[in-house]
Amino acid sequence: MAKRKVSFLISVFIWGGGQFLIGKQKMKGFLFFCMELIFLSIEFFSGYWLDYLAGNIVHFRIGIYGGFFTRGLWGLFTLGDKAGARYGDHSTMLMIEGIISIMVLALFVLLYIWNLRDAYQTGKDIDSKGVYTTSGEYLKHTLSKSFPYIVLTPVIILVAFMVLMPILFSFLTAFTNYNKNHLPPASLVDWVGLKNFVKLFKVPIWSGTFFSVLIWTVIWSLLATFTTYFFGMFQAVLLNSKHVKVKSLYRSIMILPWAIPQMISLLVFKNLLNGQFGPLGQFLIDIGVTNKRIPFLTDPMIAKVTVVLVNLWMGFPMFMIMIQGILSNIDKSLYEAAQIDGGGDLQVFQKITLPLVFQATGPLLVMNLAGNFNGFGSIYFLTEGGPVNPNYQLAGDTDILISWIYKLTLNNQIYDMAAVMCIILFILVGGVSFWNFKRSSAFKEV
């Protein structure tokens, strides 16, 4: 039998066995075998398998006596079988432990696949070339070829557990009945499949609220992004003009909204625009602009206009400073050539300034659009999503998807429906951002 087949078959059962026995790579084979020992040790010594095999446990339950991997998989698939705060199962903790166990298991599966591929390749080199590569040579070749991946591996593992695990938990929650009627540990959580998605689109109160909030979220994102962008560009072009004096003073004044923490500014505006006691409403009455107080935050349409204007006040300085930097780096010979050709100021702006600025800021504009799609603070700290709309399911007229999700989770403990919305939000933001990035010339150049 060819050595590649023998080496492969041995390594199927004993990690590194093919490398050790066939390829004569003792160090490499020993390292793979250590990985197998670690895998088995985690499972056996984290549970009661040895006691069970010795006959010391009569009624064996995986949820109690199983090891790290088997108990984790059992918990993820069942979410527990006994409710109760003291001796019962905690469904959400079981889900988290299950996700972690699958991620660790996936890591060992990758090592196992690596072990098999390497065993086969080692045998194949011997069959075809008659070459016995030593462990040192293999290690040296691997380091030179895959050094960036090896260095990044700890970071990737850390990111996987810090970032991917919570995302997976949120994703799986969308397929359960985890809500205020099923709160662990008093109650068990069950898998319900696509029932929550069907509920979102089929039940009128949910679907009506969802599509209304989604439409406003899209409108809000576009307005919040492009008003700040073009007003910032307008201010930058003005400050870049040679006719403007004391530029540093104007620039400092306009940077102030950016320098103040956003939450502080929004809470100040919330008091300033209070429809009953706010000083701005009283001031407008005093100067005769109106004879009654304006419901800045309590009228559905006026509240939407208010949040856009307040966001404009806070958001334009960032684009202004950025575009000023871009304008200062544009080759002046382009403007001189345009003047020689008789181009007017508007033509120069349309043909030279705008394309160059847009090309440089395109990726940031896309990121800002995605950020405004999830602009929780701009909405919640100013209006808390209000005014309350009785036709909506636990949402107000200025609520965007992310603030609605916040209310569903923290205020009403409807985690399952909030998780469904998170998935949809992720698909929308991720899809639009990816599509825009692919179309952006700046991204193509990168």
Beta bridge pairs of residue 257: none
Task: Identify the pLDDT of residue 405.
Answer: 93
Task: Identify the pLDDT of residue 442.
Answer: 55
> Do 215 and 142 reside in the same domain of the chain?
no
Task: Identify the pLDDT of residue 254.
Answer: 81
Instruction: Quote the domain boundaries for residue 142.
Output: 3-192
> Do 57 and 43 reside in the same domain of the chain?
yes
Dist. CA 109–CA 96, nearest whole Å: 20
> Do 112 and 203 reside in the same domain of the chain?
no
> Do 202 and 312 reside in the same domain of the chain?
yes
Residue 16 clears pLDDT 70, i.e. is over it:
yes
Asked if 397 contacts 214 with a C-beta cutoff of 8 angstroms, the reply is no
Task: Identify the pLDDT of residue 4.
Answer: 87
> Do 385 and 435 reside in the same domain of the chain?
yes
Instruction: Quote the strand ranges of 260-356, DSSP E.
Output: none
Asked if 217 contacts 428 with a C-beta cutoff of 8 angstroms, the reply is no
Under the banding of pLDDT at 50, 70 and 90, the label for residue 343 is confident
Asked if 190 contacts 182 with a C-beta cutoff of 8 angstroms, the reply is yes
List the CATH number of the domain containing 377: 1.10.3720.10
Under the banding of pLDDT at 50, 70 and 90, the label for residue 199 is very high
Domain boundary among 174, 192, 210: 192
How many domains are there within the chain? 2
Each residue's pLDDT tens digit, 202-244: 999 999 999 999 999 999 999 999 999 999 999 998 888 888 8
Dist. CA 365–CA 380, nearest whole Å: 23
Looking at 168-172, 197-201, 423-427, which range is the least confident one?
423-427
pLDDT, average across residues 266-295: 89
Dist. CA 211–CA 406, nearest whole Å: 17
> Do 164 and 203 reside in the same domain of the chain?
no
> How wide is the angle at C-alpha 387 spanned by C-alphas 381 and 390, nearest 5°?
135
CB atoms within 10 A of CB 263: 11
Each residue's pLDDT tens digit, 75-112: 999 999 888 877 888 999 999 999 999 999 999 999 99
- Residue 156's contacts (CB-CB under 8 Å, 6 or more residues apart) are none
φ/ψ region of 394 (left if φ > 0, alpha if ψ in -120 to 50, else beta) reads left
- The radius of gyration of the chain's CA atoms, rounded to the nearest angstrom, is 31
Under the banding of pLDDT at 50, 70 and 90, the label for residue 443 is low
What does the DSSP assignment read for 210-262?
HHHHHHHHHHHHHHHHHHHHHHHHHHHHHHHSTT---HHHHHHHHHHHHHS-H
Each residue's pLDDT tens digit, 307-318: 999 999 998 998
Task: Identify the pLDDT of residue 430.
Answer: 83
Domain boundary among 192, 220, 248: 192
> Do 202 and 159 reside in the same domain of the chain?
no
Domain boundary among 177, 192, 207: 192
Beta bridge pairs of residue 191: 176
Residue 38 clears pLDDT 60, i.e. is over it:
yes
What does the DSSP assignment read for 19-81?
HHHTS--HHHHHHHHHHHHHHHHHHHHTTTHHHHHTT--SS--HHHH--HHHHHHHHHHHS-S
Asked if 63 contacts 81 with a C-beta cutoff of 8 angstroms, the reply is yes
How many percent of the chain have pLDDT more than 70? 98
> Do 179 and 284 reside in the same domain of the chain?
no
Task: Identify the pLDDT of residue 445.
Answer: 56
Task: Identify the pLDDT of residue 244.
Answer: 81
- The continuous run of DSSP H or E covering 121 comes out as helix 91-129
> Do 206 and 179 reside in the same domain of the chain?
no
> Do 305 and 413 reside in the same domain of the chain?
yes
Residue 437 clears pLDDT 80, i.e. is over it:
no
What's the whole-number average pLDDT of the chain? 89
pLDDT, average across residues 271-287: 88
> Do 312 and 182 reside in the same domain of the chain?
no
Residue 292 clears pLDDT 90, i.e. is over it:
no
Each residue's pLDDT tens digit, 130-179: 878 888 888 888 888 888 888 888 888 888 888 899 899 999 999 999 99
Under the banding of pLDDT at 50, 70 and 90, the label for residue 441 is low
> Do 274 and 395 reside in the same domain of the chain?
yes
